[in-house]
């Protein structure tokens, strides 16, 4: 009888042990799967990082076109300034595919645009740089306080009215020149005047270019918001920049057809839809 009781107690003990052991195994298996999962992810990340940095798969050759005044060294310096603020890209270097963005705007005033064509299969990065082209010279005013220029009073501007480079003081009338009474010239890379004002100024340029009238000088009176053109051996013509000059130019064209306007001292078109001759 005792043996039977001991046998029952032994069986109960074994059942309890096996139950506890099974519970431990059941609780360890999910943890083990989790560790294996994160371990695999870690290995993949390490492998991907190795391929990104050290493998030749993402190494590319950079080809730059369109540089005229700007050197390749200067371009790469400006590119690094703009892109390598990201430490990973700085670590990857210029010849890694992932360093190059699809588009970028450089702060160098000489650069109008940068087009980047990324070709991983060909292991190439084709960079096309468009430099600003000289349209005229803007003179007058002191350099902007934060500008690195400290002495020049004349600057090249492009067709869009953006100042981008120091210029010599022009003589004669072969180069388009604007004299401005602005106290401070904007920073290089910025519009010389507001976009609205420059749109009117450009229309005036085109008008006189198409009519063939020789211009001795163009003057911007910023305080008056006026733009003046001194026609050679003819009166000064005054425009307002506060409104679209199209109607003023149409009125001037009609006036020019009459022929007697050249006897006046100046033609005033600063009042909208009005023409005053002095």
Query: Taking residues 1-30, what's their average pLDDT?
Result: 52
Segment of 24-38, 40-54, 193-207, 256-270 carrying the highest mean pLDDT = 193-207
The residue whose two tokens read 């981008």 is 164
Does residue 142 surpass a pLDDT of 80? no
Instruction: Classify residue 169 by burial, with Cβ atoms within 10 Å: 0-12, 13-18, 19+.
Output: exposed
Better-predicted residue by pLDDT, 251 or 22:
251
Q: 3-class DSSP state for residue 58? A: helix
Most confident of 7-11, 53-57, 138-142: 138-142
Burial of 152 per CB tally in 10 Å (0-12, 13-18, 19+):
middle
Greater model confidence, 42 or 136 = 136
- Specify the fold of 136-277: Rossmann fold (3.40.50)
Q: Is 262 helix (H, G, I), strand (E, B) or coil?
A: helix
How far apart are the C-alpha atoms of 45 and 86, rounded to whole Å? Answer: 19
Could you say which DSSP state residue 162 is in? B
Phi, psi of 229 (to 5 degrees): -120, 120
Query: What is the separation of C-alpha 87 from the centre of its chain, rounded to a whole number of angstroms?
Result: 21
Instruction: Kindly list the domain boundaries of the chain, sorted by start residue.
Output: 58-131, 136-277
In the three-class reduction of DSSP (H, G, I as helix; E, B as strand; rest coil), residue 40 is classed as: helix
pLDDT cut 90: percent of the chain above it: 50
Q: Could you tell me the CA-to-CA distances from 175 to 38, 165, 200, 231 in Å, in that order?
A: 69, 15, 19, 15
Alpha-helical segments (H) within the chain: 2-53, 72-83, 87-92, 195-211, 246-258
**Residue pLDDT, tens place only, 168-185:** 988 877 889 999 988 888
Q: How far apart are CA 233 and CA 231, in angstroms?
A: 6
8 Å CB contact between 161 and 178: no
Residue 124 has pLDDT above 80, yes or no: yes
DSSP class of residue 76 equals H
**Separation CA 84–CA 266 (nearest Å):** 56
């Amino acid at each position: 009888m005792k043996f039977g009781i001991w046998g029952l107690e032994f069986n109960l003990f074994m059942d309890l042990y096996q139950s506890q052991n099974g519970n431990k195994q059941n609780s360890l298996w999910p943890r083990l799967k989790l560790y294996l999962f994160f371990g695999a992810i870690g290995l993949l990340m390490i492998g991907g990082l190795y391929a990104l940095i050290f493998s030749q798969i993402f190494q590319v050759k950079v080809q730059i076109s369109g540089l005229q005044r700007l050197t390749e060294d200067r371009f790469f310096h400006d590119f690094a300034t703009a892109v390598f603020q990201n430490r990973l890209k700085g670590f990857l270097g210029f010849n890694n595919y992932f360093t190059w963005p699809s588009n970028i705007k450089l702060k160098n005033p000489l650069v109008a645009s940068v087009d980047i064509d990324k070709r991983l299969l060909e292991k190439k990065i084709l960079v096309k740089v468009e430099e600003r082209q000289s349209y005229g010279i803007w003179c007058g005013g002191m350099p902007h306080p934060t500008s690195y220029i400290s002495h020049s009073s004349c600057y090249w501007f492009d067709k869009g009215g953006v100042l981008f480079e120091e210029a010599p003081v022009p003589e004669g009338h072969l180069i388009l020149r604007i004299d401005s009474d602005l106290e401070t010239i904007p920073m290089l890379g910025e519009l010389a005047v507001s976009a609205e004002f420059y749109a009117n100024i450009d229309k005036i340029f085109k008008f006189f270019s198409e009519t063939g009238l020789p211009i001795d000088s163009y003057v911007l009176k910023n305080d008056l918001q006026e733009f003046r053109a001194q026609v050679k051996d003819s009166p000064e013509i005054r425009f307002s920049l506060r409104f679209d000059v199209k109607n003023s130019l149409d009125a001037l064209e009609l006036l020019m057809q009459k022929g007697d306007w050249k006897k006046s001292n100046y033609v005033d078109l600063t009042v909208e839809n009005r023409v005053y001759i002095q």
